[in-house]
Amino acid sequence: GGTSCDGLFCFAGLGCGTLAVLEQNEAGIVLLLSFDWNDGLFDVTWSENNEHVLITSSGDGSLQIWDTAKTKGPLQVYKEHTQEAYSVDWSQTRGEQLVVSGSWDQTAKLWDPAVGKSLCTFKGHEGVIYSTIWSPHIPGCFASASGDQTLRIWDIKSPGVKLVIPAHQAEILSCDWCKYDENLLVTGAVDCSLKGWDLRNIRQPVFILLGHTYAIRRVKFSPFHATLLASCSYDFTVRFWDFSKPSPLLETVEHHTEFTCGLDLSLHNRGQV
């Protein structure tokens, strides 16, 4: 531990992780700079109030705050989770600068990047947490998806879980909030299905999307279309869906030759993923 290694070796599984910061310009996508960490990095989130700041979450249970203007190393390291910190997300609602992390230690933690320790720990899941995502609408509200087959909704003002949704009969690896409906979320699971959930009536899903042939690793709603979403999977594909249509699968993209572990949709360019 503690030795830096270049990207080639990091990805060969020597236990190192690299955060790569990329820029798109006329020449294409170029590497601006990279940071090394002595364990794998599982997730990354941009600051919502400083364009130079990012937070990563790591296999050693820690979160790292990085500043692209300072190339030495992390500004700060939070080490509280006792197992892999698998997800991290920065709040998008105005008036709060809060970060939530989810871990294989079955807890979610709330952080203010200006404070040196977590503000609160959320317990209740009975399996590892794979995904923690802030509501884009409701301040202080986030969702978590877990290996315990549930989607849970939390309110930072109260320590207990607000809502438990037994969403799949399989591990749930990803969840996301609709950008146009504060009551609508989607989950993606090891059972290869995507399910939509209306928080006002959780007895059955509002939609089920089938087509992936292996576990769904990440799902994201479109920032521009209320009924459009994208998913990626261990079946190597990225799929685009419109759950309002009779045939909801719009497109299957087979560009990858390995597990597809993450994706996001650009907030600036409608067509870019």
Measure the CA–CA gap between 190 and 209, rounded to whole angstroms. 13
Which domains occur in the chain, in start order? 2-166 (2.130.10.10)
How far apart are the C-alpha atoms of 234 and 162, rounded to whole Å? 31
Residues with Cβ within 8 Å of residue 178, at least 6 apart in sequence: 184, 185, 186, 221, 226
Say which residue the tokens 């877990």 belong to. Answer: 146
pTM: 0.91
pLDDT digits (tens, 9 = 90+) for 13-71: 346 899 999 888 888 889 988 999 999 999 999 998 888 999 999 999 999 999 999 87
β-pair partners for 122: 108
Residue 224's pLDDT is 95
**Most distant CA pair in the chain, distance:** 54
Burial class (CB in 10 A: 0-12, 13-18, 19+), 160: exposed
Q: Tell me, what amino acid is at 117?
A: K
207-210 and 193-198 strand pairing: antiparallel
Q: What is the pLDDT of residue 9?
A: 25
- The pLDDT, as a whole number, for residue 11 is 32
Q: Give pLDDT, residue 24.
A: 85
Contact 152, 129 (CB under 8 A): no
Q: What residues of the chain score a pLDDT lower than 50?
A: 1-14
Decide: 74 and 41 in contact? Cβ < 8 Å: no
238 bridge partner residues: 232, 253
